[in-house]
Structure 1
Amino acid sequence: MIELEGLTKRYGEKVAVNNLTFTVRPGVVTGFLGPNGAGKSTTMRMMLGLDNPTAGDVRIDGKHYAQLKDPLTYIGALLDAKAMHGGRSAFNHLLCLAQSNGIPRSRVHEVLDTVGLTAVARKKAKGFSLGMGQRLGIAGALLGDPEILMFDEPVNGLDPEGIHWIRNLMKSLAAQGRTVFVSSHLMSEMALTADHLVVIGQGRLLADTSMSDFIRENSRSYVRLRSPQRERLLDVVHEAGITVVEAGNGTLEVDGATSERLGELAAQHHLVLHELSPQQASLEEAFMQLTAESVEYHAHADHQGPPVADPAPPGPGGPGWGEGWQPRPKGE
């Protein structure tokens, strides 16, 4: 279990993470969502002791990361697939991690087989494709057989088979009672993988709820109806005190009534239905609705003329260099 209490991180005047409090529980896949610049990577780095919080606290199974003996046996993480020595083979990269955490050599062979890299185990990592690097990073996260796993954009660079594999892997790990925390910008993939969602925007917590509740609370749900007896159907629905909207092409949209009730009404009045379908927004639509006011970087498709870039941070020796500017953490 991962517990955050009032977690805050400032870089000069910039508040990257603002008083975050939530718990990542075992047994479910928890998705971590937010627009670019929301503070996701900074939060995950503080969980792993890579950045120190300005205020607040984060604990891994009740302890600070620095207090964990052989931390890879408690928590495994993939934050950056390129965070490895390119001159080492895949096997030696994992062997170094294993030896530093008291993990037996045999475990290296096991995780290489799990991620499908046994055939290239002796090849140097610098020659790996992005997808192969992702698999090696995942192998490193699994190496200590930890109860807690964190993944940042785990499907990046993977082919369809690899995406299907990592999705099922995360689900199976959660089914074993492990804590699985995954950050991704791919809403369609997150919708298929996560059971619970933590959403942040501009460093603040926006939602901490189940996937189904998140979509229901941040989008419109309705039932779509079509019938050759449209006018009679309208009368029946109105007589039942149900609000209906005409959506064009003979389609009706009904809020506040279930498809079961509408089907029963139609049957009672001997109405023919060509369509009776409950409609619910996608995770992407619900996410866009919730975070609309928290997006820091906006693109403008209707802009005329040459694109205008956001002001770049000052480079060494440039105007304003050394006047309090702080670089944004990588990935944010």
Structure 2
Amino acid sequence: MIELEGLTKRYGTKTAVDRLSFGVRPGVVTGFLGPNGAGKSTTMRMMLGLDRPTAGDVRIDGKHYDQLKDPLNHIGALLEAKSIHGGRTARNHLLCLAQSNGIPTRRVDEVLDLVGLGSVAKKRPSGFSLGMGQRLGIAAALLGDPRILMFDEPVNGLDPEGIHWIRNLMKHLASEGRTVFVSSHLMSEMALTAEHLVVIGRGRLLADTTMESFIEENSRTYVRLRAPEPERLRDVLVADGLAPTEGAEGAIEVEGAQAVRIGELAAEHRLVLHELSPQQASLEEAFMRLTAQTVEYHAHTALPGPGEPAAAPPPGQQQGWGPQQQKEGF
């Protein structure tokens, strides 16, 4: 289990992580979400002892990372897959890690086969594609057969087969009772993989809840209707205490009602329906709604024309990447 308590990191006047407290429990895949600049990478680096917190504490199974003997046997992490010595072969890269953590040599070949790199084990990673580099980074995380795993953007560069593979791998690891903590900007993948979500914005905790609850609490749920007699349908809905509104392309939208009840109402009044469909927001829509006020770097919707000045950013919005952000990458 990973436990954070009041975790804070400041760089001069910039607070990258602000009093974060949450736990990552075993047995489920926990997704870690936040806009660019939210502090996700900084948080993960502090978990692994790569950055020292300004305040607060983070523990891995009750210990600080630097207190773990042979840490790869306790926690495996993929933060930057390309952080590999270019002169070593893929196998020797993993062999070096294994020997430094007391891991049997046979495990090196096992994880290379597991991630699909057995045939290129004697090649240097400097010539690997982005996807192959990701697979090697995942192999390093799995090397010590740890009970805790952390992945930062694990599907970067993977083809559809690779994405399917890593998704199922993370679910399988969680089903074995392991702690799996994964950060990603791909909402569609997170929706298919994670069961629990931790969401941060500008370094602060915004949500720590299940996937289902997160979407339900941060989205608009309604029933979409189409009918050949829309005015009569609206009158029936209003008479039943509902508040229909105009939807896209002439559809009717009704909040606060079950599709079953609306269907029964239509049947009672002999109304023909061409569409009766419950609408639930996606994870992406719920995420955008929750984090709208914490996005630090906005792109402009349109480029200025010749001779036109660029639009001013919203009040308080930072422009570009300063030295601290470039250094940190949060």
Contact 1:29 1:179 (8 Å CA) reproduced: yes
Shift of 1:311: 5.4
C-alpha distance in 1, partners of 2:145/2:260?
47
1:227-246 matches, cutoff 5 A: 227-246=227-246
Structure 1 residues 207 and 248, CA, compared in 2 at 3 Å: closer, same or farther? Answer: closer
Shift of 1:193: 1.0
Match of 1:214 in 2: 214
Match of 2:298 in 1: 298
* CA RMSD between the two structures: 1.7
Match of 1:322 in 2: none
Shift of 1:248: 5.2
C-alpha distance in 1, partners of 2:175/2:185?
23
C-alpha distance in 1, partners of 2:232/2:50?
66
Shift of 1:124: 0.8
Structure 1 residues 329 and 205, CA, compared in 2 at 3 Å: closer, same or farther? Answer: farther
Structure 1 residues 304 and 249, CA, compared in 2 at 3 Å: closer, same or farther? Answer: closer
Deviations 1:108-138 (A, max 9, x none): 1111111000000000111111110000000
Deviations 1:80-120 (A, max 9, x none): 00111111111111111111111111111111111000000
1:1-332 matches, cutoff 5 A: 1-247=1-247, 249-305=249-305, 310=319, 313=322, 326=324, 328-332=326-330
Structure 1 residues 162 and 270, CA, compared in 2 at 3 Å: closer, same or farther? Answer: same
User: Which deviates the most, 4-13 or 275-284?
Assistant: 275-284
Gaps of 5+ in 2: 311-317
Gaps of 5+ in 1: 314-324
C-alpha distance in 2, partners of 1:86/1:263?
64
Shift of 1:216: 1.5
| Identical-residue share of aligned pairs (%) | 75
Structure 1 residues 69 and 304, CA, compared in 2 at 3 Å: closer, same or farther? Answer: same
C-alpha distance in 2, partners of 1:57/1:63?
10
Contact 1:7 1:19 (8 Å CA) reproduced: yes
C-alpha distance in 1, partners of 2:238/2:294?
39
C-alpha distance in 2, partners of 1:164/1:292?
30
Contact 1:42 1:329 (8 Å CA) reproduced: no
Partner amino acid, structure 2, of 1:331 = G
Structure 1 residues 36 and 244, CA, compared in 2 at 3 Å: closer, same or farther? Answer: same
C-alpha distance in 2, partners of 1:66/1:305?
55
Q: Match of 1:293, SS?
A: coil
**TM-score computed with the length of structure 1 as normaliser:** 0.92
C-alpha distance in 1, partners of 2:24/2:297?
28
Shift of 1:62: 0.9
Structure 1 residues 59 and 237, CA, compared in 2 at 3 Å: closer, same or farther? Answer: same
Structure 1 residues 269 and 305, CA, compared in 2 at 3 Å: closer, same or farther? Answer: closer
Partner amino acid, structure 1, of 2:280 = Q
Partner amino acid, structure 1, of 2:116 = G
Q: Match of 2:123, SS?
A: coil
C-alpha distance in 1, partners of 2:228/2:142?
58
Q: Match of 1:209, SS?
A: strand
Match of 2:314 in 1: none
Tell me how many residue pairs correspond in the alignment: 321
C-alpha distance in 1, partners of 2:240/2:325?
60
Q: Match of 2:231, SS?
A: helix
